[in-house]
């Protein structure tokens, strides 16, 4: 049997015939404050196309933060991104958000009081695997090639090629030594054109960094 040498169409929301639970996210994202790279998929038996509504929470235009997810990422069922709109003002006796209900409760509220909890954009690198029901908190950066364990709560940045797990998530081990990680970041295979990726699948699967460096 022959196979196409270019791989699947990254703009086909459902690249696996008969498996509608697997959805390439790039073609279904509509919000300008969310960016997802080619071939990144979300796996969910229940309407994976609604990822931006059901899995990206408290993401309001007026907050100004962005969710950026790289290419070739694998997101398991129930992964959630908590964005900066979830923050409450922290300077008062109470954190109760009176102002959102209006009817006079908005009077005197200073929007800048929310800045104390603002953490900036949430960024997921390329080739990241995030396990079932993991929660990513606002402003976190997850490095290229990292793995986030199921049910983890990620509250701080994750180094490239680290494996993190737990609540809060901590580095459990590195996938490669420092020299190999530096080489992989330099190679940046996720930036290759699709035909080059397809030609070098064996090298990508091998774990042999030098073989990957020699790919043509």
Q: Which listed residue (6, 14, 59, 88) is catalytic?
A: 88
CA distance 70 to 36: 6
Q: Could you write out the DSSP letters of every residue in 78-94?
A: T-EEE-GGG----SSS-
Our answer to whether residue 126 is catalytic in this structure is no
CA distance 22 to 40: 10
The neighbouring-strand residues paired with 42 are 23, 75
Complete edge-to-edge strand list for the sheet that includes strand 153-154: 56-57, 80-82, 135-136, 153-154
Catalytic positions, written as ranges: 88
């Amino acid at each position: 049997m022959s196979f196409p040498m270019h791989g699947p169409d990254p703009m086909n929301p459902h690249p696996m015939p008969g498996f509608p639970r697997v959805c390439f996210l790039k073609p279904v994202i509509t919000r300008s404050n969310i960016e997802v790279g080619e071939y990144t998929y979300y796996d969910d038996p229940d309407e994976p196309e609604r990822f931006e509504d059901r899995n990206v929470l408290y993401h309001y235009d007026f907050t100004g933060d962005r969710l950026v997810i790289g290419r070739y990422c694998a997101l398991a069922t129930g992964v959630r991104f908590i964005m900066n709109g979830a923050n409450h003002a922290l300077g008062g006796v109470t954190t109760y958000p009176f102002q959102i209900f209006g009817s006079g409760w908005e009077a005197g509220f200073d929007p800048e009081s929310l800045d104390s909890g603002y953490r900036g954009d949430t960024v997921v690198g390329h080739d990241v695997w995030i396990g079932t029901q993991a929660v990513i908190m606002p402003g976190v950066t997850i490095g290229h090639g990292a793995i986030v364990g199921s049910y983890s709560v990620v509250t701080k940045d994750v180094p490239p090629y680290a494996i993190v797990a737990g609540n809060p998530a901590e580095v459990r081990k590195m996938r490669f030594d420092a020299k190999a990680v530096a080489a992989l970041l330099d190679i940046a295979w996720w930036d290759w054109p699709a035909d080059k990726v397809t030609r070098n699948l064996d090298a990508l699967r091998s774990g042999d960094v030098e073989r990957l460096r020699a790919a043509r």
